[in-house]
Amino acid sequence: MKQAVREQALALGFDECRFAAAAPPVTAPQFLTWLNNQRHGEMGYLERNATKRIDPQLVLPGANTVIVVAASYATREECRPTAVAAPGLASRPSLRAHHPGTIARYARFEDYHTVMGERLKQLAGFVGRLGGPETRSLWYVDTGPVLEREFAQRAGLGFVGKHTNVISRQLGNWLLLAEILTTLPLEPDPPEKNRCGACARCLAACPTGALIAPFQLDARLCLSYLTIELKGSIPLDLRPKIGTRIFGCDDCLAACPWNRFAREARLMKPHARPELGTPDLLDLLSLTEAGFRQRFAGTAVTRTKRRGLLRNVCVALGNSGDASALPALERARHDPEPLIAEHAGWAIGQIRKRATADRPGR
């Protein structure tokens, strides 16, 4: 029965499928301490459903098994370790026509919640048919109250690295996870052990020091949190460290040497949106609400809404130091959305400050 589930998962396009017992997570104390220290920032949902996250029986009474699946989102270029540098930080203003921003690799596709969800729903139905009418299952793609990274390690799919993400010896760490909680009893797979060794490349690569220690992330400093989860103003001292990232950050993932084993995406590849790789910042800054919805429809970028993305775009343009962006930023400074206007004003100040510093005789 277990092999049948795994074969069906692979046939549906997932790159891996493993099984763990639906026992309470052993990392629950660390998770609760992390919450108590407020390292989750404004992600209040993590605190609201914390009791469920540390007890699968509160999510699905009678759960016996957690089926963990993974899908790679690596491209051919990412199937090897990548030299990491903060993108777009020019030492001098540039008059180039293109002002490229950077979007995290996982978001350069149609929304993985939808793509994986369609397949996971089919897999959950298959599990129900195998188990019979008494079988109950719940499936989640990064949306349920489940400490999925622990279950991925417990199921032997990979191990949680020092950057707090799951690393697979077969797939690297360009991974998307999803899970099915089910009452169907299936034999657990052997757990994976940590294989980071003495490597600390991910910690060194983090632009803001958000990885405050091995296996410890302060989300309030993480550029993914700042550009996606944070809904208000970005702290002033962290804005220069964003570079030209406008949605997420890949630096700690790109630094991992296990990526030499990464496999090119199967499930996600047909859903690639290559135009999202390095979009032009000035084009984005001109987007209306309707234009934003049209351009990013069906992608994860919609999560920031227009106000969040254009906030990030303003910061990226300010960090570029490019004086040719000033007219667009001046217009953005009068945007009816106060969040955009405030960050546009900051960006203008940054560009003018750099121009003054670069004048001859200074």
- Cβ neighbors of 21 (< 8 A, separation 6 or more) are 64, 65, 66, 154, 188
**84, 259 contact by CB (below 8 A):** no
Q: Nearest to residue 163, comparing CAs of 85, 253, 236, 246?
A: 253
- Cβ neighbors of 62 (< 8 A, separation 6 or more) are 136, 183
Identify whether 142 is a catalytic site residue: yes
Separation between Cα atoms, residue 252 and residue 207, nearest integer Å: 9
Q: Nearest to residue 239, comparing CAs of 334, 328, 353, 162?
A: 353
**314, 340 contact by CB (below 8 A):** yes
By the 10 Å C-beta count (0-12 exposed, 13-18 middle, 19+ buried), 362 is classed as exposed
E-strand stretches of the chain: 16-21, 65-72, 102-103, 137-140, 159-160, 166-167, 175-182, 211-213, 216-217, 245-247
Q: Which of 15, 111, 142, 250 is catalytic?
A: 142
> Would you please indicate which residues are annotated as catalytic (active-site) residues?
142
